[in-house]
Amino acid sequence: MNRRSFLKKTAVSGAAAGSLVAFPAAWPSDRPPASAAKDPLLEKVKLAMLTMQRDAWEQGVAAQAFLESGETELVILMAKEAVVRQVPDGRLAVISCWEGVTDPAANGEAVLFAADATGDPKFRKAASRMLEYLLERAPRTKEGVLYHVANKPQVWVDSLYMAPPFIALAGHPEEAVRQIEGVRRILWNPEKKLFSHNFDDGRGEFIRKDFWGVGNGWAAAGMARVIKVLPAGMADERRKLTGFVKEVIDGCLAHQRPDGLFHDFVDNPATFVETNLAQMLAYTIYRGVQGGWLDESYLKRADRMRRAARKKVDIQGYVQDVCGSPNFDSPGTATEGQAFFLLMEAAARDSAISVL
């Protein structure tokens, strides 16, 4: 009850009162949009992504890719559609995954950007409703860790990307850090230095204990985004999250293949070779080095991953052999695979220290 009371208090003082923080101009970059960098591969990947049908998290990660690439007009259009698809309880961009708890929050940063870029109050109201849902109504463990879905008491590693970056940016960085710490307590394997995929809180057992590559990528990229927006007064938390990210990067790199890619279950070479984890880790490394919290020695590994991913783009612009939609249990294509290619490229461009 104390935790519930705390969450209610913070929501009332923040979201419900309409006092969401102003967008801190962390994105977009002041460099030209990625599509203007005279790399036709980027334009192909972007166009292919725009043709794909998108669920809540897919809309969100696609919008984030445009945001970090400097494609501001597309960000506003993506945010507008996320608001059109906002359901009464406040969740954004819902079209089919009706039970998703944290996935809709992946749209939050783009919606906040659209609010400041346009001055249209509907965007800020929509972001406030999304935040209020997360802080007040979303189902969670007794310790306060958000469930990933509403119809099952399950904690998923995916949530580390979906919710904490928005929660932090919307004025509640302490809660964002608490969510990261809570998910990590449940899913982190200290021996492997990897996250398991999901845990059933009701049954007290793992649903999928495997170290899913893309899940570890979600974790690394999500924590990196939180690090970027933590206020100066949270230096201790920044150091803690930096350690968390470094550990998961190291845990994955211990299983990197000679071609720069990884297996679907990171430590299981019997599973298929997968593309997206490489993109997600390369993105995280470039942002970490750029932010000054990750050593430049990681860049060679990131560049190898980036080279491998670029080779996976086909003539139509689809990034092949990512963990493929709609079931994400075999190699294929996916919106998130397209988005993280663009995010990786934007991060490499902004770092100005990547060499292919």
Please give the average per-residue pLDDT across 80-106, as a whole number: 96
**CATH 3.40.50.720 at 2-18+42-351, yes or no:** no
The domain ranges of the chain are: 2-18+42-351
* Residue 154 banded pLDDT, cuts 50, 70, 90: very high
pLDDT confidence of residue 17: 37
pLDDT, residue 3, reads: 41
Instruction: Please state, for a pLDDT cut of 90, what percent of the chain lies above it.
Output: 86
Q: What is the pLDDT of residues 17-75, one digit of tens each?
A: 344 655 454 555 555 554 445 789 999 999 999 999 999 999 999 999 999 999 999 99
Query: Does the pLDDT of residue 1 top 50, yes or no?
Result: no
pLDDT band at 351 (very low <50, low <70, confident <90, very high): confident
C-alpha separations of 344 from 70, 119, 240, 277 in Å:
13, 30, 24, 11
- At 190-241, the pLDDT tens digits run 999 999 999 999 999 999 999 999 999 999 999 999 999 999 999 999 999 9
8 has pLDDT over 50: no
* Mean per-residue pLDDT, 97-103: 94
Neighbours of 10 (CB within 10 A): 18
For residue 269 the two structure tokens come to 């070479």
Answer whether 0.85 is exceeded by the pTM: yes
189 φ, ψ to 5°? Answer: -105, 105
pLDDT (0 to 100) of residue 296: 95
Here the tokens at position 74 are: 């597309």
List, for residues 292-334, the tens digit of each pLDDT value: 999 999 999 999 999 999 999 999 999 999 999 999 999 999 9
Residue 28: asked if its preceding bond is cis (omega within 30°), the reply is yes
In whole angstroms, what is the distance from residue 292 CA to residue 165 CA?
19
Q: What pLDDT does 39 receive?
A: 86
Q: What is the pLDDT of residue 32?
A: 54
